[in-house]
Amino acid sequence: MAVKNADVVARNIKSFGGGFTKHVNKTMDQVLRLIDGEVVRNISSTDYSLEDLAAMGHPYAKRHGPQGIQIHDPYWQVHTQSGTLLNSKYKNTKKASITAGQLSAGAYVGVDEQTAPHVNAVIYGTSRMIPRNFLSGSLERVKVPAYKHLKENLRDMVMHFKPKDIR
């Protein structure tokens, strides 16, 4: 949606003393906690050991179909064996900035394939194992609550902002 006099709005937000961008940053930190919590839940399941999975007939084998044998919901959960995958997880936020009237901010969670070389095989699958994209799956599960949190926390700030024309 185009904003009439976007340059004036941007100058007003900047002259607000950084309070608006500080609030956006605080809200993005909260959203990051939502996303990170879901990713951690999906890569640290301890339901089954390697021996248990072998005894079940390797439920993540492609021979069982695109989602393997449903031993848990969501199917993309990963069982902690060594903890390397969980230890490879990183997270951060992109601090709020305003350029040409456009607000930019972000939050992300990822995994370092240098620390956990097997992560690509888990996410994308192999010739024998189904893919279990726990990053996209986690994001999909928290998309609605994250959007709702952003909307609720930023709406009042925007709706009650009293800009002044500072030409």
CB-based contact 31:146 (threshold 8 Å):
yes
What is the tally of helices (H) and strands (E) in the chain? Answer: 6, 2
Record the pTM: 0.76
Q: How far apart are CA 141 and CA 39, in angstroms?
A: 10
Three-class secondary structure of residue 106 per DSSP: strand
Q: What pLDDT is attached to residue 37?
A: 95
pLDDT tens per residue, range 59-107:
888 999 888 888 888 888 888 778 889 999 999 999 988 777 677 899 9
Which residues face 61 on adjacent strands?
A: 129
Residue 58's alpha-carbon distances to 7, 34, 51, 82, in angstroms, are 59, 31, 10, 18
Q: How far is CA 151 from the centre of its chain?
A: 17
Q: How far, in Å, are 11, 13, 154, 160 from residue 16 at the CA level?
A: 9, 5, 15, 13
Give the pLDDT confidence score for residue 45 in this predicted structure. 80
Q: Where are the beta strands (DSSP E) in 12-101?
A: 89-99
User: What pLDDT does 1 receive?
Assistant: 47
Q: Are 70 and 88 in contact (CB under 8 A)?
A: no
| Gap between the Cα atoms of 55 and 61, Å rounded | 13
104 membership: H or E segment, kind and range:
strand 102-111
Q: In this structure, what are the phi and psi dihedrals at residue 74, rounded to the nearest 5 degrees?
A: -80, 155
pLDDT at 14: 59
Q: Which regions of the chain are under pLDDT 50? A: 1, 165-166
